[in-house]
Amino acid sequence: MNNLYYLFIVLGFLAVVLFLEGTYLAWNAYRGPEAKRMEKRLRAMSAGAEIKDSSLLKQRMLAQTPTMDRLLLQIPRIHQLDRLLMQSGLRLTVAGFLGLTLLLTMVGFLLALLLGMPALIVIVIGAGAGMLPLLYVTRAKYKRLLLIEQQLPDSLDLMARAMLAGHAFTSGLKMVGEETSDPVAGEFSIVFDEINYGISVQDALVNLATRVPSTDLRYFVISVLIQRETGGNLAELLSNISALIRARLKLMGAVRVFSAEGRLSALILTILPFALAGVIFLINSEFLSVLWTDPVGPKIVAGALMIMIFGIFWMWRVIKIRV
């Protein structure tokens, strides 16, 4: 009881700190100096005034506050996490992501302790709850990339028709940004803006391929870069790439249909053991208690988990067909 009392005190303190931090970040986002400076620059651009800032690239902040940003920069490979968040399209900073992960981990630990689970299960539940934000961000990235791949053929056709009508390549990028929907419109608009700000076409396209790790989009980027060095009919090249991407998407759709039964079976077999163990524990916890009270129980659980992990890996490798 004493340990639970101290745990509630710590959670209450963290809740107050997070509430104050959230209030400050909300105020800083709308009324802070950074927001005022950005609003001033936008007004100057809309009025046609000249922007005197010499820097063309804005450094992406890992947190809303400079102090937290400097602390996060000390973490190795932190920019890979920032790139993942950027590719997911979510309005979430690295600091917000880490804070959400820590909060869910503590909630998982607390719930497991309140249910009276053993220490090993508490650690597993806490770690699993902490992995939920990462799984959500990864899922959002996958859905966004899939949507970009579906929108890319129409965007390339639009650029090809614009170039056949006499427009330049950059004008085609602008038309895609204005006449299509997000997320492909936002990405092509960024490329157009970077070129207008003075960045070379090659660097702007390379930045696009870095932001969007899509194979089809990289085909487009490589083709345009090669055409700019060797010459050729860019409009015809874009039409051919669009047709190739459409054929690939059609083949991928057929593969998904034929493998739907296998993927559903793999999903059920992956979730079923853990879900069944959770239900049995809630109904009759003493029935499963032998797995951690008996000396042989943890060894059996470890062996079963290793076999299940191997089986899950093998199932998903079998149904994963590369196109």
Task: Inform me whether the pLDDT recorded for 188 exceeds 60.
Answer: yes
What dihedral angle (degrees, nearest 10) is formed by the CA atoms of 152, 154, 157, 163? Answer: -80
Which of 220, 246, 272 is the last residue in one of the domains?
A: 246
Is 11 contained in some domain? no
pLDDT value, residue 41:
42
pLDDT (tens digit, 9 = 90+) per residue, 262-294?
A: 788 888 888 888 888 888 878 887 777 777 777
Which of 223, 246, 269 is the last residue in one of the domains?
A: 246
Q: Which domain holds residue 301?
A: 259-319
Q: Closest Cα to residue 83, out of 93, 73, 69, 95?
A: 93
Distance CA 261, CA 256 (A): 9
Same domain, 155 and 204: yes
Is 55 contained in some domain? no
User: Which residue is listed with tokens 């029935």?
Assistant: 287
Mean pLDDT across 198-212: 85
Euclidean distance between the first and final Cα of the chain, in Å? 57
Is 271 contained in some domain? yes
What DSSP string describes 1-14? -HHHHHHHHHHHHH
The Cβ of residue 30 has, within 10 Å, a number of other Cβ atoms equal to 10
CATH number of the domain at 238, please: 1.20.81.30
- pLDDT band at residue 113, thresholds of 50, 70 and 90? confident
Task: Inform me whether the pLDDT recorded for 9 exceeds 80.
Answer: no
pLDDT value, residue 64:
64
Which pTM value belongs to this model? 0.64
Mean pLDDT across 64-76: 70
Same domain, 186 and 235: yes
Same domain, 283 and 220: no
Tokens linked to 43: 């007004």
pLDDT value, residue 165:
86
Mean pLDDT across 61-77: 68
Is 278 contained in some domain? yes
Which residues, including other chains, have CB under 8 Å from residue 141's CB and lie 6 or more apart? 84, 87, 88, 89
Distance CA 58, CA 36 (A): 16
Same domain, 205 and 276: no
Q: Is 24 helix (H, G, I), strand (E, B) or coil?
A: helix
Tokens linked to 27: 């105020």
**Domains of the chain: total:** 2
Same domain, 220 and 308: no
Is 57 contained in some domain? no
Could you tell me which residue, 305 or 32, shows the higher pLDDT?
305
Apex CA 162: angle with CA 166 and CA 186, to 5°?
135
pLDDT value, residue 31:
62
Task: Inform me whether the pLDDT recorded for 37 exceeds 80.
Answer: no
Tokens linked to 5: 């009392």
Contact between 35 and 28 (Cβ < 8 Å):
yes
Same domain, 167 and 238: yes
Same domain, 164 and 185: yes
Q: Quick one: what percent of the chain has pLDDT higher than 70?
A: 81
Distance CA 111, CA 121 (A): 11
Task: Inform me whether the pLDDT recorded for 43 exceeds 70.
Answer: no
Distance CA 213, CA 234 (A): 23
Mean pLDDT across 77-99: 80
pLDDT (tens digit, 9 = 90+) per residue, 115-174?
A: 777 777 778 788 888 888 888 888 888 888 888 888 889 888 888 888 888 888 888 888
Buried b (16+ CB within 10 A) or exposed e, 77-105: eeeebbebbbbbbbebbbbbbbbbbebbb
